[in-house]
Amino acid sequence: MRLEFFSESPEQTRKLARAFILKFKNLDQPLILALTGNLGVGKTCFIQTLAKALKIKDRVISPTFVVMKSFLIPEKRKKSRFAKAAPDKRFFWHVDCWRLEQPDFEYLGLKEIVKNNENIVCLEWAEKVKKLLPKNTVWLKFEHLGGNKRKITIE
């Protein structure tokens, strides 16, 4: 499935992010979001809004120098009738893959993080680690169309 959205302002990008996370935050599998696009195109704005919609109070900024950060999701997941008991703790991970290579991915424990059903993982510059990501990864491509206009493609 491929969906295309157009945004003419940061607020429209935030609105899309809020709608997206409300729809997908209670999956019975990890939610892995691979964000691609040039610098300044709205990836971090989208991720910050996801975190805020999940009721995360901490300031979310690109983890360029620390590579990744995790945040406790204070809101418990709604349990589906097919799922086991909902866990006490869920985490939102924000990863900057700009400088990552395969050994780093494994050393940082990202292999396990992207497999954990309780995690929501956002990877900026995800094209750098594409071959290491699971098949159920949701790809979000951000494109600058001039001025404040952006195209966001979700696959």
Predicted TM-score (pTM) of this structure: 0.86
In this structure, what token pair is assigned to residue 36?
């691609």
What confidence tens digit (pLDDT) does each residue in 16-60 have? Answer: 999 999 888 877 788 999 999 999 899 999 999 999 999 999 888
Q: Report the topology of domain 3-78+88-154.
A: Rossmann fold (3.40.50)
Boundaries of every domain in the chain: 3-78+88-154
Could you give the residue ranges of the DSSP H alpha helices within the chain? 10-24, 43-53, 102-107, 110-113
Q: How confident is the model at residue 83 (pLDDT cuts 50, 70, 90)?
A: low
